[in-house]
Structure 1
Amino acid sequence: MSDTQQVLYDVPGPKAIRRDKTLNVVFTLVVLGLIAWLVQAAWSRGVLDDRWQVLLAGDKGFSGWDVWRRLLWDGLVLGTLKAVVIAVPIVAVCALVLTVARQAPMRLVRWTAYGFTHVFRGIPVLLLMYFGVIALDLSLLPSVVLGLVVYNTAVVAEILRAGIAALPKGQKEAGLSIGLSPLATMLRIQLPQAVRIMLPALISQIVVLLKDTSLGFIIGYVELLAVTKNLYNFFGSASTAPLILASAAIYISVNMLVARLATWLEGRMRRSSHVARPADGGDVAAPETAARAAYGAGGGAGAAGA
């Protein structure tokens, strides 16, 4: 395994680098041309007038800072990110349990986990939120979290299962051969490799979860989209375009930060990788060697009885 191997993508060659640079230039020119066309069209239609002052100087007794504070603090932090911060750890734990259950030796446990995954992947998140409000009589935040957790647990568990299925069978056999139990083999050897393989899909699912918080607006939960609607109802229809574009810019910025998090995780996982390499400089370690390395990095013989 090369030291320069990436988790999210393979290291490009010279031709790929030249092609990527050319495509980047072309794409940049196209985007700049599109932005210039949109600005010109907006200018010709009188969109770029004093209505944008609502984001700068404010209106009706509100300053521009008051508008941004409501968008960023009341909408993003106290609404959108609060639901995300609560939901993501719960999803991670529940998806791990569901993934282990999908590999359990007991048929009833496997079938139950299989049924949960395929049933709740097919139910809309908004319907789950309504179920929390109407059927369970929960308040708005728990209902939003319930919808996000149930749906995304099913999706993330399926992503992890696909990552485990993509591993060579020798990984599991090697773990069993060095004395690990099936559960310890999955947790110490298979699951960490599955996370590395499926990291792009997992990060993408976090982005989906973040955007799905906007569905809480429909059941009355106050998040970024709801705050935006309240603001343009207060300031009038002229402020609709500036406020919607400001909210879109906030969503895009947060999702870009999540993408940067993926890059940071990729680098950290690559640096902390302890998979043994053959002495002759080959690219792939033997399954048992890799299993011993992963097992040793994960805590040694103490996991054998897990």
Structure 2
Amino acid sequence: MTVTFRASPPDDLEALLAFSTSDPVSWIDADRYRQESVTRNYRPEWSFLAERDGRPIGRALWWGGSDAAKPSTLDDLIVDVSDDDERVAVAAGLIRAGAEAFGTLPEWVVDVAVDWHDDPRAVAAVAWREQAARTAGLGRTTERVSVAWEPGTGLPAARTDGDLTFRTGDDAEFLDLFARVTVGSLDAHTRATVAELGAHGTAADDLEFYLTLPGRRQDWLVAEDADGLVVGFVLATRTAYDAAISYIAVLPQHRGRGVVDALLAAALRVHGAAGEPRVVGTTDSENVPMRRAFERAGFTVTKRRIVFEA
């Protein structure tokens, strides 16, 4: 039987919101969808249904900024069929239908529990989603760790071999810094983007993206040592929901000196001064140095995130 895929107009809302899943992964409930539809983070033209003989058997919900022309992430994909091969085919079909409509292939984000590797149901749930992602053209899978810090934790002690000072910088300087810190990066997305676009192309892509994030531009901080040499930088910005450490990097020649601790502390002071109740961050599971830096700063792991991207 033929399966069709289409965007879901407003009069399909009840069918769209009737989906749920028992898989131990994140999904969007009706209340959240309605709340974020008001802010245009979810939209009918970004919400797709898969149908067989007129019956909905799958849905995909893409998320984007309130003023964005296109969505940035696939937040939710649920398929209500029992056959594993068909589940993969329907999921891949939904992703491809969205990509065709948007003219781009946004990343697919699946949040799972911290200990998901120990749960066979979670492992199976991630496995079929990864197969669907690859079928649809999202060939790269990265596991990321989400962390959070609260003011009661206290600020971390900076471990550097000298005092650092912090200042703002203009876009041209940050463009240069984004390019310089790609050397030896442990971040999977950065390495893949450098392989595709080169260091300067990656820097331009990064600058363009981070300028779109909420938060104050003056909270992008450049760190200098006692000799006036730039050693690293940190972007204290916001997600749609929380204050965030969106980007933190140490120049290659200054790594291993504890500069990252001072950068984290500086960003936390910015958010603390603004009265933020919570600060979040993410890093690749395989980026052990950054994970340990977050731990030293008092961040706790809240979840793991599976990211499928082209």
**TM range, normalised to the smaller chain?**
under 0.3
TM-score, normalised on structure 1? 0.21
Q: Which protein has the larger Cα radius of gyration, Structure 1 or Structure 2?
A: 1
TM-score, normalised on structure 2? 0.21
Query: Hey, which of these two has a bigger chunk of strand by percent?
Result: 2
Query: Hey, which of these two has a bigger chunk of helix by percent?
Result: 1
